[in-house]
Amino acid sequence: MDWNLTADQQMVVDMVRDFATNELKPLAAHLDRTGEFPLENLRKMAALGLMGMNVPAEYGGSPVGAVAFSLALSEVARACASTSCTMTVTNMVAEAINHFGTEEQRLAFIPKVVGGDYPIGSFCLTESQSGSDAAALSTKAVRDGQSWVLNGSKIFISHGAYASVLVVWARTSDAPKAKGISCFMVERGTPGLIIGKHEDKMGLRGSNTVSLTFDNCRIPLGNLLGEENGGFKIAMMALDGGRIGISSQAVGIMQAALDLSVEYAKIRQQFGQAIGRFEAIQWMIANMATELEAARSLTLRAAWLKENRQPFSQEASMAKLYSSEAVNRAVKNAVQIYGGYGYTKEYPVERLFRDARVTTLYEGTSEIQRLVIARQLIEE
C-alpha cells in the first residue's frame, strides 16, 4: 500500500493551498458577516479548473481524479467553508451530467457549469415534505409538444440564485416513489424558474441557499437527463460522490480548527505558562489530531475506490458519517480551548463552530448515512 500522494496530486494540493490561503481565507470572515456570495473567487476557481475536477477536458473540465478532488476541497474548506460548499456541489452536478448525459448534452451543459460567468451548478432534490425521504418528492414534469413543463417547489437549494444549470428532480409518472422520478437540466433565466426565499442560515453564510418555484417552467425535451422515470438513481449515485465531498469539507474545517487550537495553546498564558502545557488542553488537541487523521483516511479511501471504479457507496457514507460527527467535536473543543474569546466573532473558531454544524445534516443526515451503511450490511 502506498500512502504517498502522486506528483500530480501533490501539485494540485500545493496549487490549491496557495490559492486558498491568499484569496479565500482573507475573505472568509467578511462573507460570513455580510452573506455576500463570492462570485469573483468562484470564477477564479473555475479558471484554475476546480469546478470540473472529474470531467473530461473536452467539456471544459480538468480531470485529476477523485482523490485530488477530495484533497483540493479540503484545502478550500480549510480556508473558507462557504466557498467549499459551492465547489463540491458544482463538481457533483458536472459529474452527474458527464455520467448520465448524451454527448450532445455534455457539450451543451458542462462547459456552462464548470466555466463561464456563472461557473456554478445546483442540485435540486429537496422539497418541504421530502428531505431524508427523497423519493417522496412531488414536483411534477409533464410532456407538452417539444417541451417538458415543470411545476412545484424546492427548498434549501445551495447557490440556486447563481447557478448556470440546475439539475432538478420531478415526478413524471404515477408509479410509486422512486420509480416515477426523472431528472432534468434547467438553465439559469428560464421563464417560470422563480428564485424564492434566501435562507438566513447559522453557518456557511457565504453560500447562498434559496427556495425555488417552477411555475409552468418550460424546457426542451432534450433537457431530460438519463432515462424517463430513471432519475432517482441519478440522485443517489450523485449523492454517493457528493458525500465524499462533504466528508472532505469536514476534514478541511477540522484541519482549520486544529491549526487554530495549536496556535492558541502555544501563546495563551494562564497560571504562568502557555495553556498548551496543561494536560487538559493537550488531550483535546491530541483527540482532535487523531480524529482528523481517521476522518482523512476514511475520506481518501472512499475517494480512491471511486477513482478506481470500485463500489464506494458504503465507504462514502462511512466517511461522511465519521468526518461530520468528528468535525463537530473538534470545533466544540476549539471553542473550549479559546475560552470566552472563542465565543466571540473576533476569533475564527466561532465561525468554524457554526460552519461545521451543517455537515451532519446536508447530503444526507448522519441517520441516513447509518441507514445506507446498515442496509448494505444486513440486506445484501
Q: Which residues are catalytic?
A: 363
For ligand COS, the binding residues in 241-260 under the rule CB under 6 A are none
Q: Least CB distance from residue 271 to ligand COS, whole Å?
A: 46
Q: Is 99 a binder of ligand COS (CB under 6 A)?
A: no
Candidate list 313, 314, 324, 360; residue touching ligand COS; CB under 6 A: 313
| Three-state secondary structure call for residue 56 | coil
Q: Which stretch binds ligand COS (CB under 6 A): 20-28, 130-138, 252-260, 266-274?
A: 130-138
210 binds ligand COS (CB under 6 A): no
- The answer to whether 134 contacts ligand COS (rule: CB under 6 A) is yes
Is 34 one of the binding residues for ligand COS (CB under 6 A)? no
In this structure, which long-range contacts are made by residues 238-242, counting pairs with CB atoms below 8 Å and at least 24 apart in sequence? 238/92, 238/93, 238/95, 238/96, 238/123, 238/167, 239/92, 239/363, 239/364, 240/306, 240/312, 240/313, 240/316, 240/317, 241/66, 241/92, 241/95, 241/306, 241/316, 242/88, 242/89, 242/92, 242/123, 242/363
> According to the binding rule CB under 6 A, does residue 373 interact with ligand COS?
no
Residue 374 CB contacts under 8 Å (≥ 6 apart), including other chains: none
What minimum distance in Å lies between the beta carbon of 323 and ligand COS? 15
Smallest separation (angstroms) from ligand COS to the CB of 174: 16
If one counts every other C-beta atom within 10 angstroms of the C-beta of residue 138, the result is 13
Rounded Cα distance, 366 and 59, in Å: 34
Contact status: 207 vs ligand COS (CB under 6 A): no
Among residues 25 and 177, whose Cβ is nearest to ligand COS? 177
CA 354-85-184 angle, to 5 degrees, is 135
Q: What does the alpha-carbon distance between residue 365 and residue 211 come to, in Å, rounded to a whole number?
A: 20
125 or 251, CB closer to ligand COS? 125
233 near ligand COS (CB under 6 A): yes
The reply to whether 186 sits near ligand COS by the rule CB under 6 A is no
Residue identified by cell 472532505 is 248
Q: By CB under 6 A, which span of 5-13, 92-100, 119-127, 284-292 interacts with ligand COS?
A: 119-127
Q: Cα 19 to chain center, whole Å?
A: 19
Residues of the shown chain interacting with ligand COS in the complex, contacts defined by CB under 6 A: 123, 125-126, 132-135, 177-178, 232-233, 236-237, 239-240, 313, 362-364, 368, 371-372
